[in-house]
């Protein structure tokens, strides 16, 4: 069987839905070339008065992550908070890694050498099933690669039933969102059966008012469509919504949809999240940096309400 995909040799391939995927080194990235999407992004930026020559979607690859005031406060009055699931609500990547390791070893992948964390992060974590299959098995028919992924998901679910744990501090953030009455949706590239199982195991099935699955959208993350669909489902504005993510792929999707993203450092390198445009990067939901930003939102909401009375 094949070893790891070779690095380099970047080549563009048309996605067939208004975008271009860059292939090389086993990585993939969606780049929008659709005027409608750019129009949506620019409108949401205009609503927040954030359009400037340094906007990451206009002229540079990443959003500045440092500011005296958190970019989250620009979403006041907040209408909704969106959450990725894998790696954001729960530290599930190690379970996915184990499932992939065991199944790939069983077929002699990489000459029997287990895939490491770096390979997993670059080629699998945060990817759609199609992209992961193409990265892992570039010479296989896509249908065969997707079949392998389906079998791997079955193994993952058995592991999750025994070992899935929430990210530190999650319960406190969930309660904060509930107390404020914000709308909320889970937005994931995971198969729906996985998403629903994880939410059930975490006790969050009733917390979310919508569960958006990337595979059921025009394109999955890193395209913005899953997050744009969440906005539509909840009937809220990008200007008054922010996102919790953990992967560069998901962060790009959120930024492309016109919303600030809080990136949680469960497994992915901080520099990759910065480059993807994260507005705030936190260790977990107990990080003082996060609560400082949420307190800024509370203060701004209180000031807005007092001014309206």
Counting every residue written for the chain, the total comes to: 309
Note whether 3 and 109 are within 8 A (CB): yes
Considering the candidates 52, 55, 84, 284, report the single residue annotated as catalytic.
Answer: 84
**Tokens 């570039």, located at residue:** 138
CA dist 164 and 159 (Å) reads: 8
CB atoms within 10 A of CB 207: 16
Q: Cis omega before residue 222 (within 30°)?
A: yes
Q: Tokens for 99, please give them.
A: 């499932």
241-245 vs 210-213, strand pairing mode: unpaired
Q: Does residue 179 carry a catalytic annotation?
A: no
Q: CA nearest 191: which of 132, 141, 251?
A: 132
Query: If 0-12 CB within 10 Å is exposed, 13-18 middle and 19+ buried, where does residue 28 land?
Result: buried
Give catalytic status of residue 139 as yes or no.
Answer: no
According to DSSP, the residues that pair with 177 across neighbouring strands are none
Residue positions annotated with a catalytic role: 84, 86
């Amino acid at each position: 069987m094949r070893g790891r995909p070779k690095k380099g040799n970047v080549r563009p391939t048309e996605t067939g839905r208004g975008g271009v995927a860059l292939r090389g080194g086993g990585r993939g990235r969606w780049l929008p070339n659709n005027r409608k999407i750019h129009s949506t992004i620019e409108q949401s930026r205009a609503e927040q008065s954030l359009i400037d020559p340094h906007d990451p979607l206009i002229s540079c690859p990443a959003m500045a992550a440092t500011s005296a005031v958190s970019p989250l406060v620009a979403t006041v009055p907040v209408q909704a908070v969106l959450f990725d699931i894998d790696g954001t609500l729960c530290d599930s990547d190690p379970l996915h890694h184990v499932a992939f390791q065991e199944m790939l070893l069983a077929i002699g992948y990489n000459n029997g050498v287990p895939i490491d964390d770096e390979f997993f992060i670059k080629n699998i974590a945060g990817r759609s099933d199609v992209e992961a299959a193409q990265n892992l098995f570039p010479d296989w028919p896509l249908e065969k690669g997707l079949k392998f992924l389906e079998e791997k998901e079955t193994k993952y679910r058995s592991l999750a039933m025994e070992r899935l744990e929430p990210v530190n501090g999650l319960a406190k953030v969930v309660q904060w969102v509930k107390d404020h009455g914000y709308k909320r949706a889970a937005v994931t590239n995971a198969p729906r059966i996985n998403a629903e199982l994880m939410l059930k195991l975490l006790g969050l099935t009733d917390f979310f008012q919508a569960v958006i699955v990337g595979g059921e959208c025009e394109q999955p993350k890193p395209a913005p469509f899953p997050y744009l669909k969440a906005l539509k489902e909840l009937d809220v504005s990008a200007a008054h919504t922010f996102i919790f993510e953990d992967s560069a792929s998901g962060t790009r999707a959120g930024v492309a949809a016109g919303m600030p993203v809080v990136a949680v450092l469960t497994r992915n390198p901080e520099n990759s999240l910065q480059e993807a445009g994260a507005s705030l990067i936190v260790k977990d939901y107990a990080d003082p940096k996060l609560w400082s930003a949420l307190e800024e939102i509370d203060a701004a909401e209180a000031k807005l309400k007092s001014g309206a009375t």
